[in-house]
Amino acid sequence: MTTITRFAPSPTGRLHVGNIRTALHNWMVAQKNGGKFMLRIDDTDPERSKEEYVEAIRADLAWLGLHPDGEERQSQRLAYYEAAFDRLVEAGRLYRCYETAQELDLKRKVLLGRGKPPIYDRAGLDLTDADHAAKEAEGIRPHWRFKLDHAEMIDWNDGVRGPQKFDPAMLSDPVVRREDGSWLYMLPSAVDDIEMGITDVLRGEDHVSNTAVQVQMFRALQAADDDDCTIASACPHFAHEALLVGKEGKLSKRLGSLGCDAFRERDIEPQAIIALLARLGTSQPVEPIADMQVLLDTFALESFSRAPAKFDDAELDRINTALVHQMEYEQVKHRLPEGMGEEAWHAVRPNLETVSGAHDYWKIVTGPIDLPDFSEDDRAYLKLAAETLAWGDNPWGDLTGALKQETGRNGKALFLPLRQALTGQHSGPDMGELLPVLGEDTARRRLERAAG
């Protein structure tokens, strides 16, 4: 069977780092198994869903290199949900309820006060035809719940958490449709996973109880069409990964707002995000790996930890810097300042944290630069340097070698005044690589200017 995974965001906001991690891991499951990665836009909430967010989701996935093999939108699949709804009503697996949010909240508080789990009491099942008619006469519309089968224990072998087992009697029958006819997450998601042929669902551990309910939904939906179905044929393979937390070890609201826009503003490379999130929360070491195939070859759900995965900006910066140091000129030339060639890129690359940092170093090359106040002795030294400068295959080595022999200077006294005169900086790129980029004429003029 072809592996088919899906990423199913709601277009009610921008993707954040937790969403990105989920999308990446589903993409990796598909890629590793030669399968398909589907994007499903869960836009059944017309009040909160916005087209600008749909476009942003597509753009962010493309920027990260996570290209879906197909896209579906729930707003265009309502007929599927209606058909499934009718079948489940006929099969007796959906029932009408009328409690208000306040009434349900009161019931929960009473149960908690008695030390009992706050599970829905199934009062809707006790309503008669006359009760329903009376509600309808009053203009009160029902919401609908899925009736869990208490006789059927729920279990599955989770790809991350291992064997899972739930007693359905300890779960509330979930609401699947609101009074206004709109859908909640549970039923449309299960309908889509069946109809789209989804084989693997990898999501956060906050969905574990949802999965327990959906296992029975899958069976009920399949049973409505095929009395001989089994849970194995009805359900995808489920895996639930630990959620991301901040470096302080607590759930961070900031992670909910940290997305691709924020990464782009910091000039973080997409591959740095991929390299970090691919292994964050696993037993694999987080390393600056530019080759996606290496990450795929070492990706395994068995390596995922049950402990929360800690996201640290400093670690992302470290990965990003290391990847920038690996980048060749052809990869970045369209992002470099005009006139900056391969020689200049290789000169400044070891000193960069981001590609955009090359612009600052190019300003050193093109000038003008600000000079420090040199001592009289250093000015005389720089005058000698301007006279000694000769251009060959190794102008920096030739210059410093001649000056060392002529003046007896070495170490900081030999090198620092020259760097300051040529770049206006106390530190920076290797001068052996940078001096040829400056060129003989510029170098001589700067030495003469510093000498006064």
CATH classification for the domain delimited by 376-451, as one of 1.10.10.350, 1.10.10.10, 1.10.260.40, 1.20.210.10: 1.10.10.350
Nearest C-alpha neighbor of 244 from the set 203, 189, 283? 203
Q: How far is CA 401 from CA 394, 409, 411, 446, in A?
A: 11, 10, 12, 19
Q: Kindly state the percentage of the chain with pLDDT values over 70.
A: 96
Domain with CATH 1.10.10.350 in the chain: 376-451
pLDDT at 296 over 50: yes
223 pLDDT band, cuts 50/70/90, is confident
253 is in an annotated binding site: yes
pLDDT tens digits for 348-386? 999 999 999 999 999 999 999 999 999 999 999 999 999
Whole-model pTM: value is 0.91
Q: Do the beta carbons of residue 16 and residue 256 sit within 8 Å?
A: yes
Q: What is the mean pLDDT of the chain?
A: 94
Q: How many C-beta neighbours within 10 Å does residue 181 have?
A: 12
The per-residue pLDDT for 226 is 53
78 CA to centre of own chain: 29
Token pair for 119: 């599970």
The per-residue pLDDT for 222 is 87
pLDDT at 149 over 50: yes
pLDDT at 248 over 90: no
The per-residue pLDDT for 228 is 43
Which residues are registered as beta bridge partners of 377?
A: none
Q: What is the SS3 string spanning the chain?
A: CCCEEEECCCCCCCCCHHHHHHHHHHHHHHHHCCCEEEEEECCCCCCCCCHHHHHHHHHHHHHHCCCCCEEEEHHHCHHHHHHHHHHHHHCCCEEEECCCHHHHHHHHHHHHHCCCCCCCCCHHHHCCHHHHHHHHHCCCCCEEEECCCCCCCEEEEECCCEEEEECHHHCCCCEEECCCCCECCHHHHHHHHHHCCCCEEEEEHHHHHHHHHHHHHHHHHHHCCCCCCCHHHHCCEEEEECCEEECCCCCCHHHHCCCHHHHHHCCCCHHHHHHHHHHCCECCCCCCCCCHHHHHHCCCHHHECCCCEEECHHHHHHHHHHHHCCCCHHHHHHHCCCCCCHHHHHHHHHHCCCHHHHHHHHHHHHCCCCCCCCCHHHHHHHHHHHHHCCCCCCHHHHHHHHHHHHHCCCHHHHHHHHHHHHHCCCCCCCHHHHHHHHCHHHHHHHHHHHHC
Least confident of 93-97, 139-143, 205-209, 230-234: 230-234
362 CA to centre of own chain: 32
Which residues are registered as beta bridge partners of 238?
A: 201
pLDDT at 81 over 70: yes
Checking DSSP bridges between strand 4-7 and strand 36-41, what pairing results, if any?
parallel
53 pLDDT band, cuts 50/70/90, is very high
As a whole number of angstroms, the distance between CA 252 and CA 313 comes to 13
The per-residue pLDDT for 231 is 41
The per-residue pLDDT for 246 is 87
Q: How far is CA 262 from CA 68, 201, 259, 271, 314, in A?
A: 23, 28, 5, 15, 14
pLDDT at 66 over 70: yes
